Structure 1
């Protein structure tokens, strides 16, 4: 009798199935330091207790994407261990800050299934929730993944395609309790640009680039306890290359966006996202953003800015995203649509 776990295949999912993921994770200050060592992350609210206290919080919470990666990593052995690709995200919301000392766990519900026509794989949609030690939901999101079949050409389940919102409505954005920007210090934050200084349709080149290193990617992926085979096992892909975890690209691009968006302090919603092309060690990641929308929140002085964050590889001139047929250009790595909180 085998005791090892080969991971779930497409045939192992059913609509309504709830998967409670193993190995809760307690986050400590060391993880914040390591996150900031892996990425050029400099947003002040996540860097300084004193800055966060001046903004009405009890101290500096853990980085929003650090919390996301921790929850995401919990889901990998059950959702994407046998994935061909992670295809997209929707309806993501950060509902509570995560503090040093919090213990996070995750659970996912299967909300969609569709077998691919080749009979070799299918797409699985799951809604994942991250919970803390008080069983409070700290974040939630939908993602969909292409997963291999255990046996090719088997019976296909009746397709179920979930209906997903194109964007999180501004009124559904959750502002952390106590947060206010009445005493916001733009000198310490790094830029003077507030919400009113940005216009819808504005494009921002974040200027800097970072070359992805194999060692840093491996360290980051292990930190999140992400066990997807394509990230670790070079024999798992026909080209013999380890695929860079998409979250590594997200965090790198978000950190690069500080140059031009230093006051977009907290990611609070994830509207959509696509990993457009694979990233490998040696690729140099750059980023640009487009302002898609602006909105007030329920807290006076705290505004929300909706941004498209695009990560590219190599040297790219301009802000091109797709070709005439609507396909992502080969140099596009990431297309992420999110809301962030910013002083008005």
Structure 2
């Protein structure tokens, strides 16, 4: 039998401190932007119109923050999560240099933690992934953890080695490498009159709209990002597992929730940081996604009068509107229809 093929890493193949250089750099094109819009219907003006982007200090229209995330994430899948049961969460994510069409992104990862699961069949792998452009500039750095199957359930994999992770990215670490012309910023074209000053900590927003996932949507998305995880790609293999169906890629839900959040957060043009995130329940083709958000914190950006930041929690549900802000039950566990709890920091212009 040929040994030229790769089966992917299993839990016992990982070691804390291990460096992974991921294959296949990816050049982002205008076509990627069009496909991203087709998949999620995102309407944020700065990543939809080059004319609007220039009022925010860009030389031309940048790539959506989450499209950059998907590309960086997808590079890591063959080495980190090809044999995953599920992607579990995120932390300590910081955006850096803007990404433009024509930029080429590559990713490296470092294993920073391991936790065997009590069932002996899998373990959680913690990695810090760094995405850079062709100039060596960091465009995104983040931590994620993923449940990965063991190759040999009897293998001795040692005890847990858990990383220390912050609750949120500090304001001093937020990067805003552009200056907004607040006098030229057009809230009518942006889709909302509400700027940074108009939001308050503790405010909750029902984003109202829902979006149904088609089988073709998530399959196109995973191919677009070259995310080859079996749980998303291979129905034949998944049909032999307990759930019996392909899982929707968690990042797909993040992008749907972010697109839905336009209705209420239209001026939140860019994601600056990913503070944390949990994929709390699985999602399948045919489910309809709704979302609501809570403003956790208003953040003054040091030395900036043109923009401020909001730390936001966006919760996505499946097949359940969000008028009553569903979240957790009395036992502290996520309700069955809650599929995403995403804590992130967004940029908004300030009043001129």
* TM-score, reference length from structure 1: 0.98
Q: 2:320 aligns with which of 293, 315, 319?
A: 315
Q: Please name the residue that 1:203 is paired with.
A: 204
Alignment of 1:228-307 (within 5 A): 228-234=229-235, 235-236=237-238, 237-298=241-302, 299-307=304-312
Q: Structure 1 unaligned runs (5+)?
A: none
Q: Structure 2 unaligned runs (5+)?
A: none
Q: 1:47-69: CA deviations, max 9, x gaps?
A: 11111111211011001000000
The alpha-carbon deviation at position 300 of structure 1 amounts to: 1.4
The alpha-carbon deviation at position 179 of structure 1 amounts to: 4.1
Counterparts of 1:315 and 1:79 in 2: how far apart (Å)?
33
3-state SS, counterpart of residue 14 of structure 1: coil
Q: 1:97-126: CA deviations, max 9, x gaps?
A: 101100000000000011112211111100
Q: Please name the residue that 1:329 is paired with.
A: 335
The answer (yes or no) to whether the contact 1:113–1:157 under 8 Å persists in 2 is no
The answer (yes or no) to whether the contact 2:218–2:249 under 8 Å persists in 1 is yes
After alignment, is 296-305 or 83-92 more displaced? 296-305
The answer (yes or no) to whether the contact 1:182–1:301 under 8 Å persists in 2 is no
Counterparts of 1:182 and 1:105 in 2: how far apart (Å)?
37
Alignment of 1:1-344 (within 5 A): 1-234=2-235, 235-236=237-238, 237-298=241-302, 299-316=304-321, 317-344=323-350
The alpha-carbon deviation at position 2 of structure 1 amounts to: 1.3
The answer (yes or no) to whether the contact 2:56–2:178 under 8 Å persists in 1 is no
The alpha-carbon deviation at position 183 of structure 1 amounts to: 2.1
Counterparts of 2:267 and 2:316 in 1: how far apart (Å)?
19
3-state SS, counterpart of residue 141 of structure 2: strand
The answer (yes or no) to whether the contact 1:205–1:289 under 8 Å persists in 2 is yes
The alpha-carbon deviation at position 238 of structure 1 amounts to: 2.6
Counterparts of 2:245 and 2:57 in 1: how far apart (Å)?
46
Q: 1:65-110: CA deviations, max 9, x gaps?
A: 0000001000000000001111100000111110110000000000
3-state SS, counterpart of residue 226 of structure 2: coil
The alpha-carbon deviation at position 180 of structure 1 amounts to: 4.5
Q: 1:268 to 1:79 in 2, by over 3 A?
A: same
The answer (yes or no) to whether the contact 1:90–1:164 under 8 Å persists in 2 is yes
After alignment, is 47-56 or 229-238 more displaced? 229-238
The answer (yes or no) to whether the contact 1:115–1:156 under 8 Å persists in 2 is yes
Counterparts of 2:106 and 2:183 in 1: how far apart (Å)?
34
- Stretches of 4+ aligned residues off by more than 6 angstroms: none
3-state SS, counterpart of residue 208 of structure 2: strand
Counterparts of 1:167 and 1:111 in 2: how far apart (Å)?
18
The alpha-carbon deviation at position 178 of structure 1 amounts to: 3.6
3-state SS, counterpart of residue 114 of structure 1: strand
The answer (yes or no) to whether the contact 1:111–1:162 under 8 Å persists in 2 is yes
The answer (yes or no) to whether the contact 2:113–2:161 under 8 Å persists in 1 is yes
Q: 1:269 to 1:180 in 2, by over 3 A?
A: farther
The alpha-carbon deviation at position 223 of structure 1 amounts to: 0.2
3-state SS, counterpart of residue 208 of structure 1: coil
Counterparts of 1:135 and 1:157 in 2: how far apart (Å)?
36
The answer (yes or no) to whether the contact 2:292–2:316 under 8 Å persists in 1 is yes
The answer (yes or no) to whether the contact 2:180–2:306 under 8 Å persists in 1 is no
Counterparts of 1:42 and 1:135 in 2: how far apart (Å)?
30
